[in-house]
Amino acid sequence: MSQTDGYTRFVNRPLGKQIAKAAGLPQPVPLRRHTLGDPLVTGPILILGESAAAETVAKQLWREEYDVRRDVGLKQKFSAIVVALDEIRHPQDLSDTVLELGQALRRLDSNGRVITIFRDPNDASVANDATALAARRGVEGLTRSLAKEMRRGATANGIVLSDDVEMTSASAQSAIRFFLSGRSAYVAGQFLTVSSSAGEVPSNWDTPLAEKVIVVTGAARGIGAAISELLARDGATVIGVDMPSAGDALTDVMNRVGGISVQMDITAEDAGVQLLQKARERFGRLDGIVHNAGITRDKLLANMDDSRWDSLIAVNISAPLRINEQLLQARGDGVLADNFRITSLSSTSGIAGNRGQTNYAAAKAGVMGMTQAYAETLGETGGSINAVAPGFIETAMTDAMPTATREVARRMNAMQQGGRPVDVAEAIALFHADASAGINGTTLRVCGQSMVGQ
């Protein structure tokens, strides 16, 4: 839990727990987060369903010597429950398996995981099949609702498979490992769509970014620093970028992660060219970029001036668009990897809107549009582009909020607490792994299933 979240610390002490329970107050628990070498889970995993996906997941986990169970009647605690619904054709087909899940939920451990697996409602094959489409949408709805019923740090999320993708694919394996592990601690009620079988299983799941060279903008502090640290933990070499005014902080971060510092203004007309040249000189290659740099210039639209609007748009969306174009123009020159990966920071404000943030919401929604537009182009050569939309994340910026506003924001999600920068970083690392190549053009919310938006 955040060091600044005194309430969460209080309600996890005997007296605080007693008071919160008696008063009907939120009772958030410390979340299980990943550290290098951690297993996916520490207790039994229950697999429900009789489909090919259920069998594949069970065999994969057995091979890694996890305690896999298929009997819902066992009187024991489960660390995770995987529910395979990928072969249903009618909403009535949900009944038996979902009601079994209901029984098992009573034995889901603290910080447990529920993962549904189902077919993509957006596939053309079911566009005119009312019963099949209703069934697939049904799984989507029950997963979102179930996530709001979870307690004690547990989460529910879904893996969505296109009709021509199986659970044996590298990206499906990457997705289920993410959702089972502490890497997804602050992801709830969300979905990872595996749209192709692209991707390769790494030789070591602990270092899936080995030998990758990745640019991180806005790397000097906060979420950018956490992203840099986590990418390095997973094996990448980081090129950290920030403004000259943040030079000392940037150098400190890069020294810590073994990366290199680049002091520059990302709104410069040739920013992408500069980054490519730096990668060429130092490493001879560039495998990805994380567009993290961003600013806020909050004001009600009625009081918004040109400076607030234009400066935010320039940094938060115009710069990433220009940099992407310049980088992609260099494809085929031997420096930019064919399987180049882009991840950008969006925001729940771009999904649900937020009072006083019309400029910010426009830019962050624009990031999601950019992500959709580039997906096909990058996918043609094995690359990918995705976005991460954080909710309330504990940073220096949120620490400066008025106390009452901050406390309300922390509790307005299914986890009843704020996330950490590392939660955002874990999602970004997922998208930059070659094993996740089949996940392309998506936006993943890291918001504890915020009450705003979906």
| Annotated catalytic residue within 7, 66, 360, 374 | 360
The pairing of beta strand 45-48 with beta strand 191-194: unpaired
Output the CA–CA distances (angstroms, integers) from residue 186 to 78, 194, 398, in the order listed: 20, 21, 17
7 is catalytic: no
* Residues with active-site annotation: 360
